[in-house]
Structure 1
Amino acid sequence: MNISFFFFHPIVLILMLITSSPVLSAPPLQLISLLSIKSSLKDPLNSLHDWDPSTAFSRPGFQPIWCSWSGIKCDPRTNQVTTLDLSGRNLSGTIPTHIKYLFHLQHLNLSRNSFDGPLQAAIFELPNLITLDINHNLFNSSFSPGISKLKSLKFLDAYSNSFTGPLPEELVYLGNLEFLNLGGSYFEGEIPSSYGKFSKLKSLYLQGNSLTGRIPVELGFSNQLEHIELGYNSFTGGLPVEFSRLSNLLYLDVSSGNLSGNLPAELGKLQKLEILLLFKNNLSGSIPASWAQMVSVQVLDLSDNSLTGEIPSGFSGLKALNTLSLMNNKLTGEIPQGIGELPDLEILSLWNNSLSGILPNKLGSNSKLQKLDVSSNSLSGPIPPNLCLGNKLTKLMLFSNQFVGEIPSSLTNCTALYRVRVQNNNLNGSIPLGFGSLPNLTFFELSKNKLSGPIPKDLGNAVKLEFLNISQNPFNSELPSNIWSAPSFQVFSASYSNLNGKIPDFIGCANFYRIELDGNNLSGSIPWDIGHCEKLITLNLRRNSLTGIIPWEISTLPSITDVDLSDNFLTGAIPSNFNNCSTLENFNVSYNQLTGPVPTSSLVFSSLHPSSFIGNEGLCGRVLKKPCRTDGLTAGAVEVRQQPKKTAGAIVWITAAAFGIGLFILIAGTRCFQATYGRKFSNDRDVGPWKLTAFQRLNFTADDVLECLNMTYKIIGMGSTGTVYKAEMPGGEIIAAKKLWGKHKDTIRKRRGVLAEVDVLGNVRHRNIVRLLGCCSNNQCTMLLYEYMPNGSLDDLLHGKNKCDNLVANWVIRYKIALGVAHGICYLHHDCDPVIVHRDLKPSNILLDAEMEARVADFGVAKLIQSDESMSVIAGSYGYIAPEYAYTLQVDEKSDIYSYGVVLMEILTGKRSVDPEFGDGNSIVDWVKLKIKTKNGLNDVLDKNAGASCASVREEMMLLLRVALLCTSRNPADRPSMRDVVSMLHEAKPKRKLPDSGGRAVGDGVINGQDFPEPQKPLV
């Protein structure tokens, strides 16, 4: 027996203290139980440090000292432990059977930890337990039997775990149960009809599982129910009419539940109902007029269904109504005028219906209106003048209607306003002065109206304005001289707006991504200072009256992709410096007066169609099949300023020398690596004691890890920060140990990267994020210990020499991996606080477990986003870095989304992100975009090894290709959020059986610049 264990194990210590204490005459079972719990749990934060057995005894007549320990409360009369609260302590491990000795325990809270495995049955031996809270853990398998023993239980919260199998029917024997939450797991099958037998149940949460079948009508017999959430499942049939019997019901949510059929008119009897959420189903028919009798309703959301008919006029009498969302249905008729007079109305969303008539005249007069979206209907008449009377309006969405009249000047005083979209109407008059002074205005779209007059100069002073579109309006005016000065301005579109005068100097345009001024009457030259627009991706000046030469500075823009200067009067030559620009995809200078040769040494120009240069009699070259004069410049050509060119021969010699040195280092390093690196583990022992920091309960020590790696090790990977080894622990557990590189000059920097990985992964819990078991370190060395992934990485699967062909050829497996990665990144972007940006997403950092479930790994360069930050160095891997990241160094989620798009393209094509096949300087993104523009190009893009020759598989792959193209948009603003990506991937789910990879998400409102319904959140 281990002597140190005998003397210092908490249970042994307690028994020794008992025998020597004159005060205690009986074994303190409560104390034994508590210390047994402490010794059984992994506590990386040492949150139970005050559970000290040496101070566990007190004088007679005084409360035991353990009653003052953190998380513990005792009955002051009996000194019995009644509450044990271990919530939010990052604990893991197994609750021991000794917990049953806390006979008088009434409240047990284990929430927000990392407990896994089955729920321990010992908990069901606590006869007086009233509340049991285990939400946000990792409990899995089917729900353990025996819970019916807890006859006193009133509250059970098991939300957000990984339980599987059927819902436990045993719960119906808990006659005192009032609160039941089994949501956010993987329960399957039907809701038991016996759940209608709960006699005291007030709150029932079953949302976010994999439940099927019909919602049992018996639930309507639990007449004490006040709160029901059943959404995000896959039910059949409709909402039971019997729910109208629930006279005490306050909250009903069956959103995203796959419901069908008509809305039950009988629900109008629920006069206490306050919240009704039925969005994202397949409901049809009209909205029952009887629902106007639900006089207490505050939130009514029926959006994203197939409802027809009119909005009941009786809704004007719903005085408590706060939110009315009926968007994306097939409703017709007029909006009841009385809705504009509802005293508490804050949100009115009627987007994408076929409504007609005018907006209620008094809409907004109640001073509480915050969001108004009636876009994509057939509404007419003027915009009501008092929409922002209370200065609370944040979103005004009126686009694609038939509104007339002027834009109300009162909106220029609406300081809360941040998004305005009134395009595609018949609005006239001028843009009121004052919008540029609004402190929060971000998005302003006025295109396709009949607006005229001057463009307000104050728009150039807007503090947060990012997007302004005034296209297709007959302004007949000049651009303000300060139009490029707004500090956050990114996109400006003023196409076909009858603009005249000169283009203002570009000073101040540093943040612009897109400038569109085509189809106007602009004159003069293109300002030379366009080089200030460092982020510019698209420049469209076609169909104007511009003169002068093409500024050389355009060719220096690092991310310029699309340039259209056609139909002008430009002269001179095409700057040859474009030869050095690898991002250019389109360059149209047709119908000008240009002269000289079309540059041909660049892949960009050689791949362009001759139509990009026609209409210029003085142009020549191979692209136009028109030979150029060799004796000097072509007649009329103008010499354009050139950057100094380096000698080509010097570049070749430098490149060759660098290659030779690198090859020598690689060969020498390879030969000496095995001879020297194996000794590093034993040498590392001599630089201080090893310390093991565990993030969950481990059955091995730091010495076990070092001994294993010293005797025998297998290298399974190398990265920028270190080498990864496969190691088998004495108990048979296989782990992966990532060891930091040795004593290089940049060891400190790389060690910081590894420690950053510890900080990130130590607090992350998700099935698609690799699990960090612990961290071993001494004075000079650090090792991270992970769960071992037997199927290697996605890079091995797609490109490895020993790849398993039957897995590579399985499109369902590839889709499952793509979806798993999306869920992992979505968790980092949307569920972590602060947000985590991975910044180095690529196939080699995507690991695959035994079930081919994807796990995102290698967080050495991840960043916690707490504010607008930029990095001093570029992090990431070539081929996966977003184009804007290389020069802005700005850290945000959009760079991860671009990298994910590249990974998705690799999954679809079977090709690496960078390949000589793509051409010099091109990546897979450039190659795919070029291929899909050609006839039958998809045949080359989609991997036939994945089944692209099959029509159904090909269709599914094309859906994912569209997602990949969205993710790799040049403009970060055009990339979807990761929640949108997950939603789109679910829509492209293969029709064959797909192992469940978990997770559910909805969109965040904007996809590729278009407004969509915002995500619905639970209301409390």
Structure 2
Amino acid sequence: MSTLFSPFLGGFVFLILCSDASTSPSVPVPLVALLSIKASLLDPFSSLSSWSFPRNQSFSFSSSSAPPPWCSWSGVSCAGGEVAGIDLSLRNLSGDPFPPELSLLSPSLTHLNLSTNSFSGPILNSSPLFHLRGLRSLDLSCNYFNSSLPFRVSSLRGLQILTLYSNSFSGNIPASLAGLPLLEHLNLGGSFFDGVIPGEELSSLSRLRYLNLAGNLLTGPIPPELGRIALLDHLEIGYNSYEGGLPREIWQLQNLVYLDISSAHLSGGIVPEIGNLTKIEYLFLFKNRLVGAIPSEISRLARLKVLDLSDNNLSGGIPPGISTLANITIISLMNNELAGEIPPGIGDISSLEALLLWNNSLTGVLPPKLGAGGKLQRLDVSSNSLSGPIPPDLCSGNRLVRLILFSNKFESEIPSALARCPPLWRIRMEHNRLAGSIPVGFGHLRNLTFFDLSNNNITGELPPDLGTAPRLQFLNISGNPLRSMLPSTIWTAPALEIFSASSCKLQGKIPRFASGCRNLYKLELSQNNLNGTIPTDIINCQKLLTVKMNQNSLTGPIPPELAALPSITDVDLSFNFLTGVIPPAFDNCTTLENLNISFNRLNGPVPASGEILRTLHPSSFAGNPSLCGSTVARPCAPAEADAPPPQSLASIGPAAIWIGATAVTAGLLVLIAGIRWSRAVARLGPGQWKLTAFQRLAFSGDDVAEAIESTAQIIGIGSSGTVYRAEMPGGDVIAIKKLLRSSKQRKTEFFTTLPEVELLGAARHRNILRLLGYVSNRDSTMLLYEYMPGGSLEELLHGGGGGGKNKISPDWETRYRIAVGVAEGISYMHHDCSPAIVHRDLKPSNILLDEDMEARVADFGVSKEAKASVSRIAGSWGYMAPEYAYAVRVDERSDVYSYGVVLMEIVSGRRAVVGGEMSVVDWVRKELGKGGGVAGVLAGGAAVGCRAVRDEMVMVLTVAMLCTSERPGDRPSMRDVVTMMRAARVGRKEVGEDPAAAAAAKIGEKI
């Protein structure tokens, strides 16, 4: 962008230098430099609007008058009238931040902060940046600068602070950093630096106090020379892939306050010299391969506030001296091999906020005074062998948020005080030996979302107040001998998604669903003593996926409403006393994967008009001797085939029916048992899930499977599977896509695309949703992705309801950034991966957004159909290129077409299909053909009134038109698309509305 103005500004500077001071006051150099900087930047929010100079104002500023006007400009600070600091952070700026005129600010400029913007590209050794010899502080963090870090950075010899965190720099860390003798703060974290740490060079920086190299691609051993940087108080070098262990010299850094070498492939042990770090407050060594015991010398770290040694292979006991650390707030030793008892003195630490000890081999009891200090917020001691009571004072300060105690041997009752703990939002006490009843009051906890008490010895009634819990999403009481009835209010909990009460010896009828259960998607009531009919108002539970009511005493017909649920996938009603016919709607229920109605009193033909029921195994219908049809290998008599059987079997009598059924199925029971056994083997047990990871993960395949069955939350349902949000042990939040497995064909299709999936796992691009790995067994496959909290582009453009109402954001800057990000991601997969990966189903719902509204393209390659299949086409209506109609080979140009459709949605705010029948491509061409220009195409919003924004939208629409050319050969490549999209933004400088350009022009006219 600076190239548009550099010739003018170069001449402008020449005129300044050559102007006759006797006839005209000279133009101040700071004014030239600052306006040149502004002219080279793209400022979407006009944050530099104050950087302007009135046309008629004099250039003469006497030393006795007020400070020069630029000293009051936003982000500019002065000293003696000279520009001393520029802070342009957090302004969403892009363009060239280092125009030639920047060097005019030397040597007065001492502080330059350009952090958290959208600057990109390489920084060359010839950059004017390196002429700023007076710089003491340089912050370029949180941008997109790439290529290697120039060796000429050493020319900034006065630099004290250098912060380049979170960019895309690559190559080795330059040894020339040793040429910055005054450097005190160096942050190179969050990029792609590789090679080894230049220990000798860094150790020469005798004033260095802060060093951050975390989150790069560094390898080799940690250099012992780092131990010679005596003043260092902050060392953060984790999230790399080192070799070997921690050099003993590290423990000589007695001024360290903060040490983080987490997730760094460290091996070996923690040595007693750790006790030398007497000033340390934060110590992070988690996610490594450390072994051995925790040294008792850790008790010497009197200032320690946070200790995290989790996810290692540490053994032995927890040192008793840890109880003497009076300032500690977080103790995290989870996922190790620790044994023995928890030191009782830990309960006396009044500052303790979090105690995380899960997945060890700890025994004994929890410290009786734990929580009495009033600051405890998180307690996780799950997956140990702890016993005894739950301490009564865990929430004495009303701060407890998470209470995770599952898979232990805790006894006695649930403390009633927990039901009066307002902050609690997650309670997991499953798989213990808890007794007594569930205290009343949990339903009044306004933050409670997850409540699991399964597999204990709890008895009595389920408190009715649970039906009023405003945020309760997950409730599992399975495996407790409640021996009671379900309260009539249980379905009224407005946020309830999963309810599991299997094997509870429940009695009575299933409560009516009425208008509740609107978010319920999993209902488990199996292995109880429930009687009566299945309520027909189950149709109100429109999100239901799973219904398990097997092994009860339910009677009456199977309600057709159950088959009418739009997303139902898994139904088990086996081993009841259900009568009547199988609702024909089940055979047209395309979402259905499993249906088990065996061992009931059903009669009549098994529906066979559709494709669903005939694919089920005959064992799904066993134990119903009056069923007929090809599925159960019993021909239907003409009367049975033409008319439904009687709804009542009273003339035969229940006893006679079951005597006959026993005679007919005596041998069948043995067969069914064999079938079930073989199917169980085919599915594999939970311990046989295979995890294929594309990066280091702190959880197993079993953890993923358990999350799907218990804690995961559905966030999307698509044609290829269901997507869950799941929190893994240790706190990682991921997205899990469980692929549909309703037929062998889908499984074949997945393994056909498996090499492509693995290619995607190896891909690394900021705009491609990161595939962490996949979990599979013989029956299921689940893809693991990073979780995107910002939702999808579909939701941003059109809202979550899918009702067609225009929901587009008025912020063109956000839309443009998303569009460019998508283009760059697809271009990477097309042109930088070998072989190229084609998406085949690009659409807004497959474009996800992070918390900063940066785009990630999802479902790359997973939509590919098996090569042998020509009857089913990958892609979505409205986004498919015309060549799909010819069943020809689909390649990268088909993705280009889909991208063009997405661009049209972004620009127009219309859906891909307008009015239910016309594609947005045809609609745009029709509107443009009316002769009224683009006015009827561009989405509304305040920004459209700005000519610069309007011109950009037109240019992006032009790119969309090229992408949606009917002939594939007429479409540009995605690499060309990226170039054109970037050029659309460059065009903003040509419209003559940039305030900096206008100000510069006015100054030129005066000269």
The alignment's TM-score, normalised by the length of structure 1, stands at 0.66
Which residue in 2 is equivalent to 1:96?
Answer: 99
Q: For 2:857 and 2:527, locate their aligned partners in 1 and report how far apart those are by CA, in whole Å.
A: 37
What's the CA shift for 1:145? 1.8
The residue that corresponds to 2:52 in the other structure is 52
Displacement, 1:57?
Answer: 1.8
Cα offset, 1:28, TM superposition: 3.4
Alignment of 1:170-569 (within 5 A): 170-194=176-200, 195-507=202-514, 508-569=516-577
Q: Paired residue for 2:885? A: none
| Alignment match, 1:905 | 862
What are the equivalent positions in structure 2 for 1:164-175 lying under 5 Å apart? 164-175=170-181
Counterparts of 2:42 and 2:632 in 1: how far apart (Å)?
73
Show the counterpart of 1:82.
84
Deviations 1:914-948 (A, max 9, x none): 95499xx9xxxxxxxxxxxxxxxxxxxxxxx9xxx
Partner of 2:133: 127
**Displacement of 1:278:** 0.7
Q: Which amino acid aligns with 2:278?
A: Q
The RMSD of aligned alpha carbons is: 3.6
* Residue aligned with 1:554, SS: helix
Asked if 1:115 is matched to 2:119, the reply is yes
Q: Post-superposition shift, 1:639?
A: 6.1
C-alpha contact (below 8 Å) 2:532/2:554 kept by paired residues: yes
**How far has the Cα of 1:41 moved from its partner?**
3.2
Q: 1:227 touches 1:251 (CA, 8 Å); kept in 2?
A: yes
Residue of structure 2 equivalent to 1:696 = none
Offset of residue 241 of structure 1:
1.3
Q: Match for 1:565: what amino acid?
A: L
Query: How far apart are the structure 2 equivalents of 1:821 and 1:247?
Result: 42
Q: CA deviation at 1:67?
A: 2.3
Matched residues in 2 for 1:611 and 1:361: separation?
A: 53
Q: Please, which runs of 5 or more residues in structure 1 have no aligned partner?
A: 641-806, 863-875, 882-890, 922-944, 946-1020
Q: 1:911 to 1:190 in 2, by over 3 A?
A: farther
**1:621-652, Cα deviation, whole Å (9 max, x unpaired):** 11011011213568982469xxxxxxxxxxxx
Per-residue CA distance 1:260-314 (angstroms, 9 max, x = gap)? 1001210111111000011111111110111111111100001111111100010
Q: Paired residue for 1:12? A: 12
In 2, are the aligned partners of 1:214 and 1:237 still within 8 Å (CA)? yes
**Partner deviation per Cα, 1:949-1007 (whole Å, 9 max, x = no partner):** xxxxxxxxxxxxxxxxxxxxxxxxxxxxxxxxxxxxxxxxxxxxxxxxxxxxxxxxxxx
Shift of 1:96: 2.2
The residue identity in structure 2 corresponding to 1:566 is S
User: Which of 575, 587, 592 matches 2:583?
Assistant: 575
User: Kindly, what percent of the aligned residue pairs are identical?
Assistant: 47
Matched residue of 1:574: which SS? coil
Distance apart, 1:837 and its partner CA: 4.3
CA distance in 1, matches of 2:767, 2:109: 42
Partner of 1:678: none
Q: How far apart are the structure 2 equivalents of 1:818 and 1:8?
A: 41
Matching of residues 848-863 of structure 1 within 5 Å? 848-852=829-833
Distance 2:47 2:618 in 1: 71
Q: 1:318 to 1:837 in 2, by over 3 A?
A: farther
User: C-alpha offsets along residues 418-462 of structure 1, whole Å, 9 cap, x if unaligned?
Assistant: 000000000000111111111111000011100001111111111
CA distance in 2, matches of 1:113, 1:856: 31
Instruction: State how far apart, in whole Å, the 1-side matches of 2:269 and 2:353 are.
Output: 28
Q: CA deviation at 1:233?
A: 0.3
**Structure 1 SS opposite 2:427:** strand
Letter in 2 for 1:628: C
- Verify the 8 A CA contact 1:116 1:140 in the aligned structure 2: yes
Summarize the Cα distance change of 1:812–1:361 in structure 2 as closer, same or farther, 3 Å threshold.
closer
Say which SS state the counterpart of residue 577 (structure 2) adopts: coil
Q: Which of 378-387 and 502-511 deviates more?
A: 502-511
Given residue 150 of structure 2, which amino acid in structure 1 is its aligned partner?
S
Residue of structure 1 in register with 2:33 after alignment? 33
Question: How much has 1:389 moved relative to structure 2?
Answer: 0.5
Q: SS state of the match for residue 508, structure 2?
A: strand
1:612 aligns with 2:620: yes
CA distance in 1, matches of 2:17, 2:359: 74
Distance 1:814 1:823, change over 3 A: closer
Deviations 1:83-138 (A, max 9, x none): 12222331222512332221211111122223333325422222221101111122
Query: How far has the Cα of 1:545 moved from its partner?
Result: 0.7
CA distance in structure 1 between the partners assigned to 2:871 and 2:391 by the alignment: 58
Partner of 2:947: none
| Cα contact 2:531–2:552 (8 A) shared by 1 | yes
How far apart in 1 are the matches of 2:418 and 2:18?
77
The alignment covers a number of residue pairs equal to 719
Deviations 1:44-69, CA, capped at 9 Å, x for gaps: 44433333354472442333222222
In structure 2, what is the equivalent of residue 747 of structure 1? Answer: none
| Counterpart pick for 2:70 among 66, 72, 88 | 66
Change (3 A) 1:32 1:573: same
Determine if contact 1:344/1:366 at 8 Å carries over to the other structure.
yes
Change (3 A) 1:342 1:434: same
Alpha-carbon distance in 1 for matches of 2:766, 2:31 = 44
Q: CA contact under 8 A between 1:821 and 1:856: conserved in structure 2?
A: no
Does the Cα contact within 8 Å between 2:501 and 2:524 map onto a contact in 1? yes
Q: Which runs of 5+ in 2 are unaligned?
A: 649-752, 773-784, 798-817, 878-890, 892-1007
Amino acid at match of 2:584: S
Give the Cα–Cα distance (whole angstroms) in 2 for the partners of residues 243 and 303 of structure 1. 20
CA distance 1:563–1:410, shift in 2 (3 Å): same
Contact 2:13-2:32 within 8 A present in 1 as well = no
Structure 1 pair 143–471 and aligned structure 2 pair: CA distance change class (3 A): same
CA drift of 1:501 comes to 0.6
Instruction: Describe the shift of the 1:460–1:809 C-alpha distance in structure 2 as closer, same or farther (beyond 3 A).
Output: closer
Tell me if the contact between 1:355 and 1:377 (Cα under 8 Å) persists in the aligned partners.
yes
Query: Which TM-score applies when normalising by structure 2?
Result: 0.67
CA shift in 2, pair 1:529/1:43, >3 Å: closer
3-state secondary structure, aligned to 1:428: coil
Deviation readout 1:781-818 (Å, 9 max, x if unpaired): xxxxxxxxxxxxxxxxxxxxxxxxxx998776454459
Q: Is the CA contact (8 Å cut-off) linking 2:471 and 2:495 kept in structure 1?
A: yes
Distance 2:167 2:581 in 1: 66
CA contact under 8 A between 2:761 and 2:770: conserved in structure 1?
no
CA–CA distance in structure 2, aligned partners of residues 142 and 892 of structure 1: 28
> Residues of 2 paired with 1:538 and 1:832: CA distance?
25
Give the Cα–Cα distance (whole angstroms) in 1 for the partners of residues 165 and 838 of structure 2: 24
Answering whether residue 626 of structure 2 is matched by residue 624 of structure 1, we say no
Spell out, residue by residue over 1:326-347, the C-alpha distance to the aligned partner (whole angstroms, 9 max, x if none).
1111100000000111011001
The worse-fitting range, judged by mean Cα deviation, of 252-261 and 166-175 is: 166-175
Quote the offset at 1:146 in angstroms.
Answer: 2.1
Q: Which of 585, 588, 605 is residue 593 of structure 2 equivalent to? A: 585
Q: Matched residues in 2 for 1:892 and 1:137: separation?
A: 18
Q: Which amino acid aligns with 1:851?
A: D
Is the contact made by 2:530 and 2:554 (CA closer than 8 Å) also made in structure 1? yes
Contact kept in structure 2, 1:593 and 1:616, CA below 8 Å: yes
Distance 1:545 1:814 in 2: 50
Cα 1:5/1:225, change in 2 over 3 Å: closer
Structure 1 pair 908–107 and aligned structure 2 pair: CA distance change class (3 A): farther
Q: Secondary structure at the match of 2:70?
A: helix
